Copies of this chain bind each other. A is one copy, B any other.
Amino acid sequence: MNIRRATQEDYDAVWSLTKPVIREGRTYPLPQDLDKDGALAYWFALDKDVFIAEQGKVPVGVYYIRPNNAGPGNHVCNCGYVTNAEFRGQGIAAQLCEHSLKQARHMGYRAMQYNLVVSTNKPAVHLWTKMGFEIVGRLPMAFQDPVEGDVEAYVMFQKL
């Protein structure tokens, strides 16, 4: 698997990776009906760097990294990850996370924070914990899950 910086030429790939996750509506705080332009505006926002993972020429994952806040909060970064559903269970998310942690250190960040990990997304909570993150916050009813209704979300944090 190769992970490299994504460019405008990867827009179609990023949309194909993220569309199913957006439509499912169970992990990202994005409208379920968000269209391609909206999704790309989110992923390629000015404050984000985007990295894409490929096996051969097949896109298998994508993540972004950005400062979680400006000024006195700009030493903490935030990331979001999406794995190609057809390649789940192959450790791709773990590799994306590991790459992002290295990238974050390289960029001079001193911590990484996830602002909204949906509590029902147990594989994610398990993986982030394994990757060194701690649950430092519990947001009651902060996510409207299309299946379970209002559910708790976690803030997860790791010093670098």
Q: Residue among A72, A76, A144, A157 with the most chain B CB within 10 A? A: A72
In the A-B complex, the 4 residue pairs with the closest CB atoms: A137-B137, A29-B73, A29-B69, A31-B71
Copies of this chain per assembly: 2
| A91 → B minimal CB distance (Å) | 27
Which of A79-87, A98-106, A111-119 contacts the other chain? A111-119
| A35 → B minimal CB distance (Å) | 13
A70 touches B141 (CB 8 A): no
Given A137-B138, A155-B137, the answer on whether A143 and B73 have CB atoms closer than 8 Å is: yes
Q: Residue among A26, A73, A140, A144 with the most chain B CB within 10 A? A: A73
| A3 → B minimal CB distance (Å) | 27
A137 touches B140 (CB 8 A): no
- The interface residues of chain B lying within 8 Å CB-to-CB of A69 are 29, 116, 142
Please tell me if A145 contacts chain B, counting CB pairs below 8 Å. Answer: yes
Please tell me if A30 contacts chain B, counting CB pairs below 8 Å. Answer: yes
B140 touches A159 (CB 8 A): yes
- The interface residues of chain B lying within 8 Å CB-to-CB of A142 are 69, 73, 76, 111, 113, 157
Please tell me if A1 contacts chain B, counting CB pairs below 8 Å. Answer: no
Partner of A29, one of B28, B34, B72, B140: B72
